[in-house]
Chains A and B, each alone.
Chain A
Amino acid sequence: MTDQLVATATVAPGGVSPARRPGALATGLLVLGALVLLTAFLSVTQGSRSIGLTEVIDALRHFTAVSTDVSTDDTVTTQLRVPRTILGVLVGAALGVSGAVLQGLTRNALADPSIMGIEAGAALAVVVGITVLGVTGIQLHVVLAFIGALAATALVYAVGSLGRDGATPVKMALAGAAITAGLMAVTTVLLLTDLQAQQEYRFWQVGSLAGRYAPIVTGVAPVLVVGLVVGVLCGRPLNALALGDDAARGLGVSLTRTRIGLFTVVAVLCGAATAACGPIVFVGLVVPHVARAICGPDYRWILPYSLLLGPLLLLGADILGRVMGGDGELQVGVVLGMLGAPFFILLVRYSRLAEL
């Protein structure tokens, strides 16, 4: 097993042979794709309101949103569940892919968006929006969060690349942690003095797919789709970086250009996802590890696997939260918090994390 890992790690960047048999891995992708479709179907049919299958199909058949006198079942299906499902698939995929890219980029097995300043930047922008600019409404929060996430990522990169050897993984992780702490401190100070802002922030701060309707979905979907297409194609540069800086340079890779490119992909994907749903834990951390456990170290397989495993985990957890909550609902962020920890411990215990 270990021999195989070492062997494939050295050949993979050249693109000669992937980690496992490509046929099996491709079949695996098809199975995952089918599972994502099944989960999406469940997401449209299941929820705290019980709606019969015939009503759901009926609602989907006359999907004309602007009619005045539709039944509540119709409204719930077309205006609540369908956008929620689309968002769950896109955001899950974005968190999975951006987590994989970030772990490869920083060669840090525990890298997830929260340590790179992305969530802290988004949070601060939302809070500044509420307290200083008096912005209310979730749609404007999304725009602010996206700007904040991008700005914070740029700042982390700038600080991390100070000094002689440029943006090394260790410096990036340190810069991310330091800037996260700094941004959170400002957020806390702003919130302490403003009760109303605390109320609004509280809802954004628990990651959730609920309450995000068509305008938000159509707003972030193009950004996410472009980001995902670019992200999935990042396998080669990530494989090169996995060999270490010197070897990558030896292969003719420009470290700075590659790092900036990959970091941009992470910032856009994770920034848009966090903006739309609030900070969501564990997906970005766990999904790449599961993908790596299945595919081995070749990022050309890890990325598409993360693309499909992300929605499976996020949407699956969301459906669980809807069904478990009675007439209420548990936010997906809460469900993931409860499921994520034991799941991650099992993963570490039984699969021995692949060294990055």
Chain B
Amino acid sequence: MLTLGTAACSSDIADSSDAKDAKVPDRPWEFTDGSGEVVKLDKAPTRIIAHGAEAAALMAYGIKPVGIYADEPVTTDPNLKDLDLTGIEILGEEWGSIDVAKASTLTPDLIVADWWPAEKAHSGFEDGVKAKSKKLAELAPVVGASQGDSILDLAEGYEDLAESLGADVENSQGSKDKAAFEKSRDAFIAAMEDKDFTALAVSPASDLLYVANPEYAPELLDFDRWGLDIVEPDSPDKGFPYWENLSWEKADKYQPDVLMFDSRSIITDKKTVQDQPTWNSIRAAKAGQIVEWPGFWLHTYGHYAVALDKLTEELSGLDDLIGD
């Protein structure tokens, strides 16, 4: 019953694009995946299973997937928590675990997930994912935009994908979001021109302080491009180069103007640092110059616009001379 309903829904999208666009579903469809591989099908896919954030990106253009597998509960996933997911099957709410049996009953014809160049795998098929979950790839071809050095690669990639799937991009929420994003970005760049901030993105734990390596955080590289200097840690962990691990004894190794806490954990992070006697040896910490960092999860223009506005606002009024 549910399957029928969702089938009808996705064919609606195909029909409406039919009228406006040249992309008839019966025509052969192709898309260049983030891996560089070109995926070709006899007709444009309509029954899509998508990874959490990618689903949100497609939904901004009116492409509603039949199934979603997320890395955490959809009620807390920052990409999904504000979306209406009725009629979409939830196939997983934990990293590395996907209900393939349930997925197969949805008879998908496309799976959408980011490509990770370093791991040479799509989201949901990386090392560490259960072998049983990886069988999802046997149900349909997998495509996605490539993770890289900017969130915009992802946002644009999914805009292109949605268009190829028959979305009316021009008249979608996604295009309004894109306009909003461009405004937010320009405002951010303008605000940063007057200031000379250095920022350090950190994740505090009870026994260590983790310092983010911007090389693996596309949003940090974007901020850096737009005028907020992100401090690069000089010796990231060799086995896990996303972070440099600092002992609390060395918490003051870097002296930035601003500290950034992951927006998903900022409340607990603030509690964690209260118990650390050396936290205030970072001058920015002592002055309370802490802002939110939308760490690792952004995929859409809409979310990016909101995050940038917040960042611009939080940075205004902070002292850009406090660090080294």
Contacts and interface: CB of A to CB of B under 8 A. Distances in A.
B94 A329 contact: no
Given A193-B94, A210-B208, A137 B247 contact: no
Contacts of B248: 80, 210-211
A81, A138, A329: which has the most chain B beta carbons within 10 Å? Answer: A329
B247 A329 contact: yes
Contacts, number: 87
Contacts of A300: none
B37 interface: no
Given A75-B278, A137-B275, A49 B206 contact: no
Interface residues of A, number: 33
B275 A328 contact: no
Interface string B257-271: 000000001001001
B278 A322 contact: no
A325 B247 contact: yes
B72, B205, B250: which has the most chain A beta carbons within 10 Å? Answer: B250
B94 A192 contact: yes
Given A136-B268, A203-B206, A327 B250 contact: yes
B281 interface: yes
Given A49-B249, A49-B250, A327-B247, A211 B94 contact: no
A81 B244 CA distance: 22
B253 interface: yes
A179 to B, nearest CB: 27
Interface in A175-219: 192-193, 195-196, 199-200, 203-204, 206, 208, 210-211, 213
Given A75-B277, A326-B235, A80 B268 contact: no
A267 to B, nearest CB: 25
Contacts of A8: none
A328 B246 contact: yes
Interface string B175-192: 000000000000000000
A160 interface: no
Given A138-B275, A195-B72, A327 B253 contact: yes
A203 B207 contact: yes
Contacts of B73: 193, 195
A328 B237 contact: yes
Interface in A198-248: 199-200, 203-204, 206, 208, 210-211, 213
Given A72-B278, A75-B277, A136-B268, A80 B245 contact: no
Contacts of B250: 48-49, 327-328
Contacts of B252: 72
A219 to B, nearest CB: 13
B207, B252, B265: which has the most chain A beta carbons within 10 Å? Answer: B207
A210 B277 CA distance: 12
A318 to B, nearest CB: 11
A206 B207 CA distance: 10
A81 B252 CA distance: 16
Nearest to B279: A75
A328 B244 contact: yes
A76 B249 contact: yes
Contact of A136 (B94, B205, B271): B271
Contacts of A210: 206-208, 247-248
A159 B245 CA distance: 44
Interface in A33-86: 47-49, 72, 75-76, 79-81
Contacts of B244: 327-328
B94 A328 contact: no
A197 to B, nearest CB: 11
B270 to A, nearest CB: 11
Nearest to B277: A79
Interface string A79-118: 1110000000000000000000000000000000000000
B278 A208 contact: no
A204 B252 CA distance: 24
A330 to B, nearest CB: 9
Interface in A1-54: 47-49
Nearest to A141: B206
A306 interface: no
A153 interface: no
Interface of A: 47-49, 72, 75-76, 79-81, 136-139, 192-193, 195-196, 199-200, 203-204, 206, 208, 210-211, 213, 322, 325-329, 331
Closest 8 CB pairs of A and B: A328-B245, A210-B207, A49-B249, A211-B206, A79-B277, A329-B247, A211-B207, A72-B281
Given A75-B278, A210-B247, A329-B245, 16 more contacts: A49-B250, A72-B278, A75-B281, A76-B277, A80-B249, A80-B278, A137-B275, A195-B72, A204-B206, A206-B207, A210-B208, A211-B205, A211-B275, A322-B249, A325-B247, A328-B250
24 contacts: A47-B247, A49-B249, A72-B252, A72-B278, A75-B277, A76-B249, A79-B278, A80-B277, A137-B271, A138-B206, A193-B73, A195-B73, A210-B208, A210-B247, A210-B248, A211-B206, A211-B276, A322-B249, A325-B245, A327-B250, A327-B253, A328-B208, A328-B245, A329-B207
